[in-house]
Amino acid sequence: MIANGEPLFDTMRQLCLRVEKTWPGVLCSVFAIDRTGVMRPLAAPSFPEAYSQAHDGVAIGPDTDAPGRAASSRKPVLLEELASDPRASPSAAIIHGLGVSACWSLPVLGAAGDTLAVMNLYFHGARQVADVEREVAEACVELCETAFRRHESTLDRDRRANVDALTGLANRAAYNGAMAQLRCDDVGSWALFIIDLDNLKIVNDTFGHLAGDALIRAASARIARAMAPDVTYRIGGDEFAVILQQPANVADLNAAAERVFDELEVAADCDGHTVVPRATIGGATLSKTERTATSVGEAADFALYHAKETGRGGFVRYWPGIGSRITSRRAAIRDVSEALAENRIEAHYQPILRLDTGLIVGLEALCRLRSRSGDLLPAGSFQEATTDAHVASELTARMMAIVAADIGHWQNAGLLVEQVSLNVSTADFYTGSLAKKVSETFSKAGIGLNKIVLEISEDVYLGRNDRVVAREIEVLRAAGVRVALDDFGTGYASLTHLVNVPVDIIKIDRAFVARLWPDDPSTIIVEGLIEIARRLGVAVVAVGIETEVQASQLWAMGCGLGQGYAFAYPADRDATGTLLYRHAASGAGTSPLYADRPLSRPNGRVSKRRTSVA
C-alpha cells in the first residue's frame, strides 16, 4: 500500500489490523502528532469512537499517558500495568472496559528526528515484551516511518504546488481548487474580493524588484490579517483574492474592504524605501444572477476593472450594468485596434483663431476613425478604447506621425503653420517617455517642437497622486513643447491649481461657453478664469464657440483666442490646407460669421495685436 501511494489513513488502518492478526488479543492504534504538538487519532479500527475522541487534541508531554510520553520523549514507553500508572489516561475508563491492562507506545520519527506519530499496542494482562515481539513492533514502526515520510513528502509537494513562495499565501492553484469546492446553492452565503496593488509597477521601476517584492510581502500579510479567518490567496503578480465566508464579512462588504484599506494605509519599509501600499478592490456575492463560482469570479473581476477605471484606490461592488460597460469598452478597443491595423485613423483639424480679427493662429488635430463603410466617427464614439494603455499609446503615436506628415505637407506648399495641438491620454505618460516619442517623431520630420502643443485633460494631470505626469510635463516644456490644460473646469481642478500647474495654455470647456447668459454663474467663472490666467501669463482659449454673440462676449471679457463651429468645422488635411491658403491670400480672417468685421473692446478700440496660441 505504501509503494502504491495509498492514503495514509488507509495504510495505518491496514497496518493496525495486520498487527492485531499477528498478535491475537492485541489492540493497535496510531496517533499522528501535528505541528502544534497535539495528538490526532489516525487509525484505531478495534477501538470504540470514544477512544479516539478522548485523545483528539490532547497535548503530548512527560506528564501524560503512554502515547503522549512516547511522542514527547521520542522513546518507546512500556506500561506493564496501566492500573498502577499515576498519570491518568484520557481514555482510561474506555480502555478498562476493553479488558486491556498493559500498553506499549512507540514513537514514529521523521528524517529530522521529530515525532510524526505514535503507534500504541494494548495487551490483555500485565506483561513484558518478548524479543521477537520487539522485533516485529520495530518493523511495524519502520513501516509507519516510511508511510509518514512518503505522506510528508506528498504534503510538501502539495504545499509547494499550492503555496506562493514569496508571500506564504495560498496560490492560484489553491484558489482554483477552493472555488471549485464552494457550495453555490445558498444565495448570499459567500462573497469574493479581487484586490489589485496599484503602485507595484512604479515601485519596481523606481526602486527595483527587491523593493517590489517587499511591497508584495507587506501588502499580502496585511490583507490576510484584515480578512482572517477568511482565506487570502495570491493569484497573480500584484493581484490577490479573498473568499469571504464569515457572515459578518459577507453581510457588509464595504466594511470588510475598509479594513483592508485601513491595514494598508501605514507606510511599509520596502528594501530601505518607505512605501504606502495602494490597492483597488472589486467584490461580488453569490446571488440569484451570479449563482456559480465562475460567474461570481467574473463579476468580481468586472467590479475591479470598473473600480480601476473610475478611480483607483477604492472599492466597487458588482452590479449588473458593469458587464455592459465592459462589453462596450472591449468592442471599442477591438474597433480601434482594427482601425490602426488597417490605417483607418485620420487627423482632422479645427482652427484656433483670434477673436478680434478671425486670424488663424493654430490648429487642433482631432482624431477620427473611418469605418469600413466609409463613415467618419469622432473621438467621442471610441473614447472608451483609450482606457487600454496599449491602444491609447499606439493611437497617440499614430496621430503624431500623421500630424508631422501633414505639417510637412503644408510647409512644402508654402503655407504658414504656427502651431498644432494634439491630445494625449493618461497612458501616454506611463508607457515610456512621452517627451522622447514627441521629439523623435517631429524632429525626424524636420518640425520644430515649438510648433507643437500637447493637450491634456484635468483628470489626467490633477487626478493623479504621483509625480509621473508632472515630471514628464516639465521635460516636455523644457524641450520647447507647449502644454495646454484641456476641458478646464470639468475635472478635478480649482482656480488655485493654476498657481502650481506648469502649463502654457488653459482651454475653457464648452460647457461654460454654452452658458454665457446674463446672470448665469458661468459668466462670472469665465471672467475670473481669464483674469487669473492673464496675471499668471497663461494663454486662454475658449472652446465650443458656436455664435458671434459668444465670441463677442468672450472678447469683451478679455479672452483673445477661441475655436468652434462659429469659425470652422474640423476638416481633413487638404481642406485645412485650402483654408490656410485663403487666409494667407486675404491677409485677414475668413470666419463665416464676421470675416470682415473685427471685434471691439467695450471702450471702442479695435485690437491690432498679432496673437499666437501661447
CB 501 within 8 A of CB 485: yes
Bridge partners of 369? Answer: 345, 377
Mention every residue, 6+ apart, whose C-beta is less than 8 A from residue 217: 166, 167
Mention every residue, 6+ apart, whose C-beta is less than 8 A from residue 310: 316
> Which of 506, 197, 541 has its CA nearest to residue 355?
541
Q: How far apart are the first and last CA of the chain?
A: 85
**Three-state DSSP class for residue 128:** coil
CB 566 within 8 A of CB 551: yes
In angstroms, the CA 590 to CA 561 distance is 15
> Where does residue 244 rank: exposed (0-12), middle (13-18), buried (19+ CB within 10 A)?
buried
Pairing of strands 102-109, 505-508: unpaired
Cis geometry, peptide bond prior to residue 592 (ω within 30 degrees of 0): no
- Residue 402 Cα distances to 368, 378, 600, angstroms: 12, 16, 38
Q: Which three cell numbers stand for residue 569?
A: 468645422
CB 309 within 8 A of CB 387: yes
Question: Which one-letter amino acid corresponds to residue 195?
Answer: I
Q: Which three cell numbers stand for residue 336?
A: 480601434
Say whether 238 is catalytic: yes
Alpha carbon of residue 156 to chain centroid: 31
Exactly one of 196, 238, 356, 428 is catalytic; which is it? 238
Residues, the chain, total? 614
- Residue 95 Cα distances to 60, 91, 119, 123, 351, angstroms: 19, 6, 16, 10, 99
In a 13 Å sphere around the CA of 244, the CA atoms on its Cβ side amount to 30
**Three-state DSSP class for residue 304:** helix
Question: Which one-letter amino acid corresponds to residue 588?
Answer: A
> Which of 456, 514, 513 has its CA nearest to residue 486?
456
- Residue 341 Cα distances to 335, 373, 395, 398, angstroms: 10, 16, 11, 11
> Which of 423, 419, 382, 375 has its CA nearest to residue 400?
423
In angstroms, the CA 576 to CA 283 distance is 50
CB 355 within 8 A of CB 551: yes
DSSP state for residue 594 in the 8-state scheme: T
In angstroms, the CA 542 to CA 546 distance is 11
In angstroms, the CA 518 to CA 225 distance is 59
H-helix or E-strand containing 10?
Answer: helix 8-22
- Residue 143 Cα distances to 8, 16, 19, 105, angstroms: 12, 11, 12, 15
**Three-state DSSP class for residue 168:** coil
Give the residue numbers annotated as catalytic, written as ranges: 238
